[in-house]
Amino acid sequence: MLIRIVKMTFRPEFVDEFKQVFDTYKTHIRGAEGCIHLELLRDVDNPNIFFTYSHWEGPEFLEKYRHSAVFREVWPLTKAGFSNKPEAWSIRREWNSAEV
Reported as a single tens digit per residue, the pLDDT across 28-87 is 999 999 999 999 999 999 999 999 999 999 999 999 999 999 999 999 999 999 999 999
Q: Looking at beta carbons, which pairs linking 35-41 to residues 24 or more positions away fall under 8 Å?
A: 35/61, 35/65, 36/1
Domains of the chain, start order: 2-44+67-93 (3.30.70.100)
| pLDDT recorded at residue 80 | 96
Q: How many Å apart are CA 92 and CA 58, to the nearest integer?
A: 10
Secondary structure of residue 87 in the 3-state scheme = strand
pLDDT at 96 over 90: no
pLDDT at 4 over 90: yes
Q: How many Å apart are CA 73 and CA 55, to the nearest integer?
A: 21
E strand or H helix at 77, and its extent?
Answer: helix 69-79
| pLDDT recorded at residue 64 | 97
Nearest to 34 by CA among 16, 61, 8: 61
Give the largest Cα separation in the chain, rounded: 45
* Per-residue CA distances from 75 to 9, 91, 98 (Å): 14, 21, 34
